[in-house]
Amino acid sequence: MYIISILGNYFTEVILFSVVMMLRLLYFRIGILLLVWMALTGFDYRVANLEMMERIPTSLEEHNWQKSSVDYNVIEVGTHDYTYWKNFMKRTRTCHISHRIKTVVYYCDIHNHTKSETSLEEIIHSERHRLE
């Protein structure tokens, strides 16, 4: 009976662990989708937050956009397997892929608002391997 209960605990832990991992993956994917959407639409939450305070310019008005900050973020986007040969044997390894993202924030002192530009700077592979 004791062994069965230990096994039971073990399986519960395994199931809990896989559920947590699945949720983490899901949140991660939602995060990526949000980031891509923000990059595509040029959405700036800082502008959204400041909208109540600033004067909304008409489309004819000129802006005085000045670079105020440059920020780099590295986010892991996934993994992939690659094969290589060692001692006449074909082996497989997992490589983690990350994106280096550059965010430039501009500030316009005429209307007291900001805008940001997000761009993909670099795709980083954790392992050194030939790219197929």
Nearer to Zn ion, 35 or 95 (CB): 95
Interface residue with Zn ion, options 100, 102, 111, 115 (CB under 5 A): 111
Site map 37..66 versus Zn ion, x via CB under 5 A: --------------------------x---
Shortest Å, Cβ 77 to Zn ion:
11
Q: How many CA atoms lie within 13 A of 18 on its CB side?
A: 5
Residue 114 as a binder of Zn ion (CB under 5 A): the answer is no
Nearer to Zn ion, 28 or 107 (CB): 107
Please give the single-letter amino acid code of residue 66: Q
Q: In this chain, which stretch among 3-11, 46-54, 98-106, 109-117 interacts with Zn ion, using CB under 5 A?
A: 109-117
Shortest Å, Cβ 132 to Zn ion:
9
Interface residue with Zn ion, options 108, 114, 116, 118 (CB under 5 A): 108
Q: What is the DSSP string of the chain?
A: -HHHHHHHHHHHHHHHHHHHHHHHHHHHHHHHHHHHHHHHHT--HHHHHHTTTSPPPPTTS---EEEEEEEEEEEEEEEEEEEEEETTEEEEEEEEEEEEEEEEEEEETTTTEEEEEEEEEEEEESS-----
Residues in the site for Zn ion, rule: CB under 5 A? 63, 95, 108, 110-111, 125
